[in-house]
Amino acid sequence: MAPSVVIVGGGVMGAATAWRLAERGHRVTVLERFGPGHDRGSSHGSSRIFRLTYADPWYVGLALRALPLWRRLEEESGRPVLTLTGAVDHGSPRTVGKLADALRAAGRPGLVLSPAEAAERWPGLRADSTVLLHPEGGRLHADASVAALLSAAAGLGADVRHGVRVRALRRTGRGVTVETEEGGPVVADAAVVAVGGWSPSFLPDLVDGLPPLRVTQEQPLHFAVDDALEWPAFVHHPGAGFDEPGGVYGLGSEDGVKVGFHAVGPVVDPDHRDRTPDPAAAERLERYVRAWLPGLARAHPEPVTCLYTSTPDHDFVVDRRGPVTVLAGFSGHGFKFAPAIGELAADLVEGRSAAERFVLGRPLPAAVG
């Protein structure tokens, strides 16, 4: 009989892992605390950036592994999730140059433009210093992605259960037992835990070597404009005419052009966070828009909130201890990689080694200050 796997968490990472495991013939059960399409975690909404532009070849390769899997998901589920609009990186010439070099080394197309050339293509976006366009970037529809992943997994035999809160997970013999508040225990040969912002409270009792995880509430804005779906995905990197740590990202969506600072929000408890918009944070982002995004300057902004769960090095946690595989700490840039992360998780369940980059207990950057 095929091995059984229980997945705790039905967000994008848990859903992707369910799909990949089910395709390999495992008996998969997904336990998700909230209802379908909920907005309590990190996987909801209409837009996430897909891009290949990382200075680190490891992440370029991981995105390239994810790209055909997103297309395969669309074929299997019959749902469109990925739209390649092109993506723009601009800012420090040194930073943009490294991104261009990494694309070139991977054999992927990219074009370096001046700010004036960029303005001709995208008059609503004021570019800074040096601009890199790569056509294989764009947007993922977050809600549609999760729904498609769960649908594809269910189509392969996975049992997807919403509204099931996990009370405890215990190792029992060579397998695991999951105690739930709704229904009886779930017994399986292995478990995958992908609980996003709930990781700091759920994981420490299960695995050793977990890095510190910082859960923050981020507040991007949507600007409703007529040409929102025509906008490229973009990242404004600091270091030239702009010095915001972490930079700014944006992309078009059916809800408008989404613009946000990266990883600047307050630390929160995901069960007790106040999702009331912060006027000061919104005004700070609006000032950026007035300076750099003239195409949005007259649009009324609508705030949204989501959770980041970040590691100190901004690398992910994808590793296993005994029968328990852990997926955590995707640091605000993991969504695009989800099908590839699902593959890595399935490999771990089947006994293969973890990618050294993502292991538990890895050395972490020294504290600053």
CATH of the domain at 104: 3.30.9.10
CA–CA dist 126, 97 (Å, integer): 19
pLDDT at 366: 64
Q: Who's near 184: CB < 8 A, 6+ residues apart?
A: none
Find, among 73, 20, 85, 78, the residue nearest to 47 by Cα.
Answer: 85
Write down the pTM of the prediction: 0.97
* Any domain includes 66: no
Q: Is residue 276 domain-shared with residue 153, that is, in the same domain?
A: no
Q: What is the mean pLDDT of residues 315-320?
A: 98
Q: What is the mean pLDDT of residues 39-64?
A: 97
Confidence band for 368, pLDDT divided at 50, 70 and 90: very low
Q: Is residue 231 domain-shared with residue 107, that is, in the same domain?
A: yes
Q: What is the mean pLDDT of residues 342-353?
A: 97
Question: Rg of the chain over CA atoms, in angstroms?
Answer: 20
Q: Is residue 342 domain-shared with residue 354, that is, in the same domain?
A: yes
Q: Is residue 320 domain-shared with residue 296, that is, in the same domain?
A: no
On the CB side of 228, how many CA atoms lie within 13 Å of its CA? 19
pLDDT at 340: 98
pLDDT at 17 over 60: yes
pLDDT tens for 276-292 read 889 999 999 999 999 99
Contact status, residue 74 vs residue 80, Cβ threshold 8 Å: yes
pLDDT tens for 64-117 read 999 999 999 999 999 999 999 999 999 999 999 999 999 999 999 999 999 999
**DSSP-assigned letters across all residues of 151-164:** HHHHHTT-EEEES-
Q: What is the mean pLDDT of residues 246-259?
A: 97
Give the rounded percent of residues in the chain with a pLDDT score beyond 90: 93
- Give the tokens for residue 231: 């906008």
pLDDT at 245: 87
CA–CA dist 88, 287 (Å, integer): 21
C-alpha of 294 from chain center: 28
pLDDT at 180: 96
Q: Which residues form the domain of 31?
A: 4-44+143-211+311-358
Higher pLDDT, 317 or 184: 317
Q: Is residue 297 domain-shared with residue 155, that is, in the same domain?
A: no
- Give the tokens for residue 235: 């990242």
Q: Is residue 261 domain-shared with residue 179, that is, in the same domain?
A: no
On the CB side of 205, how many CA atoms lie within 13 Å of its CA? 8
CA–CA dist 306, 98 (Å, integer): 30
- Give the tokens for residue 324: 């328990």
For residue 72, what are the CA distances in angstroms to 30, 56, 333?
21, 26, 21
Identity of the residue numbered 176: V
Contact status, residue 126 vs residue 114, Cβ threshold 8 Å: no
* Any domain includes 39: yes
Q: Is residue 325 domain-shared with residue 193, that is, in the same domain?
A: yes
pLDDT tens for 136-182 read 999 999 999 999 999 999 999 999 999 999 999 999 988 999 999 98
pLDDT tens for 198-247 read 999 999 999 999 999 999 999 999 999 999 999 999 999 998 888 888 89
Mean residue pLDDT of the chain comes to 96
CA–CA dist 195, 208 (Å, integer): 17
pLDDT at 240: 86
* Any domain includes 106: yes
Q: Is residue 222 domain-shared with residue 113, that is, in the same domain?
A: yes
Q: What is the mean pLDDT of residues 185-189?
A: 96
Q: Is residue 304 domain-shared with residue 220, that is, in the same domain?
A: yes
* Any domain includes 71: no
Q: How far apart, in Å, do the first and last CA atoms of the chain sit?
A: 55
